[in-house]
Amino acid sequence: MKRLTFIIILAALSIAVSLPAATLTFEQAIRRSLEVNNDIQTSRSEIGVAEANRAFLLSAVMPRIEVDGALTRNSIEQRFGEGDEALTILPRNDWNYTVRLSQPVFAGRRELRAYSQAKLGIENARETEDATEDATLLRVASSYLALVNAEARIEIERRNIELAEKRRAQAVAFYEAGEVTRVDVLRAETAVKAAQRVMAGAEQSRELAESDLRQALEIDGDIDAVPPEQKIPAPPDEATLIARAIAARPDVDIAENNVRIADLEVKKQRGFWLPVIRFDGGWVNQRTPFPAAQYAYGALRFNVPIFQSGEVFARVAGAKERELQAELALQDARLNATEDVRQALVALRAAITGLSLATEQLEAAEAEYSQAFDLYRAQEATSLDVSTSETSLADARRAVAEESLNRDLAELRVWYAAGAIKEALNVTGPTAVSGVN
């Protein structure tokens, strides 16, 4: 029985190990990130909070209807007059209720300014959502490209191991023929182990990129990332990108809204100098017939501030300082957007140059290695010559892979700095759920 249980467990483990990894395309990763990422969901919930605040402030200027009432048991009953003309002014069991309507008429337009601020708060919440989506898209796209690049790096390291093993096989052949010493064999063995060590580092890099992608997309299990079919479009000129960043970046839009909010706050505080007018109306029904059992009333109530001991002056002064701070923050946001675009373009140009030089380096290294190994096989070059050319070729291959990733990431950061990463990734309209096969 125990043997049967052990066999079943082994079979289950073998099935679990043999399950294929989830296939994920670049487009699926981008779409899924907008649907399941917790940071985006949190920012979207803030829009609901802002809309609820707007509804709350709207209620301050809407009419209110309420009912007040009481049931009273008095220790005595008091009447005036006798017989049919008797009038009870204090019944032993008393009751009354009032239906009251209250409508604000004018309050220095403070409620209107607060409502306008709330609407700008909703816009800020939406801009925050856009900013969170942009940051998430940058993270997911970068992790996805890093995962694909890591798989390419693993393939490169396999080829580098093949180079070292090829030299080891040649060194062993020469050693068995008595043409070289065992030093050449040991040197080749060292090169193989060094290449295997670099392979382990490449596999670790892939695991880290896969882990970050799993976390962002809430995927459990291994991921088989398919190289992207769509290419990141080349960014336009610097002036166009800067204009786009100033006009469309969420942080700049939020700073502009904050200036409007601060201006409304100054006007709202000035409203405390103005009178407050409110209309009250009601209908009263009571047990006591004095002065009347039922009657209605209407009243226009007002409050005029005469002297407030400098309170409003202080409020207005503080609001003006906040407005100045908001204007300075807007200037900083525009400046940061401009410089972010410029720095991203500098990094992109450096990455393009690095990739071009790495490609040329690879071509030269391949030619060098081919010639060096042919000479070594013909015993016209030493193992040190082959080792040097082999190392140069391996480094050139790694450099091309690294600079390719740097170029792709730099392009992403340029579009992100301009506030147009969704355009670059072709994310338009409502996001649809894209599953993982």
How many whole angstroms separate alpha carbon 113 and alpha carbon 253? 20
pLDDT surpasses 80 at 432: no
Cis peptide leading into residue 291 (ω within 30°): yes
pTM to 2 decimal places: 0.83
What's the rounded mean pLDDT across residues 268-289?
92
Q: Which of 109, 60, 61 is nearest to 271 (CA)?
A: 109
DSSP string, 220-259: -S-EEEPPPSSPPPPP--HHHHHHHHHHH-HHHHHHHHHH
What is the reported pLDDT for 20? 58
Pairing of strands 87-90, 93-106: unpaired
| pLDDT score at 21 | 63
Rg (CA), the chain: 39
- C-alpha 296, offset from chain centre: 58
Q: What is the dihedral of CA 166, 171, 174, 178, to 10 degrees?
A: -160
**pLDDT at residue 437 greater than cutoff 70:** no
Residue from 116, 126, 117, 114 nearest 46 by CA: 126
Please say whether the beta carbons of 258 and 328 come within 8 A: no
pLDDT over 90, % of the chain: 67
pLDDT at 171: 86
What is the pLDDT, as a whole number, of residue 2? 45
> What does the pLDDT look like over 51-84, one tens digit per residue?
999 999 999 889 999 999 999 999 998 888 777 7
Structural contact between residues 400 and 358, judged by C-beta atoms closer than 8 angstroms = yes
Q: Which residue has the higher pLDDT, 180 or 301?
A: 301
Report all structural domains of the chain as residue ranges with CATH numbers, in order of start. Answer: 33-62+107-286+320-424 (1.20.1600.10)
Q: What is the pLDDT of residue 430?
A: 43
| Angle subtended by helix axes 238-248 and 250-270, to nearest 10 | 40
Task: Give mean pLDDT, residues 114-120.
Answer: 95
| Tokens found for residue 232 | 């990141």
- Can you point out the beta strands (E) in 248-393? 276-286, 294-303
pLDDT at site 187: 86
Number of Cβ within 10 Å of residue 359's Cβ equals 15
The pLDDT tens digits of the residues spanning 367-416 come to: 998 999 899 888 888 888 888 998 999 999 999 999 999 999 999 999 99
Written as six digits, the tokens of 290 are: 């004095």
Task: Return mean pLDDT, the chain.
Answer: 89
Higher pLDDT, 27 or 289: 27
Enumerate residues 6+ apart whose C-beta is below 8 A from 203: 154
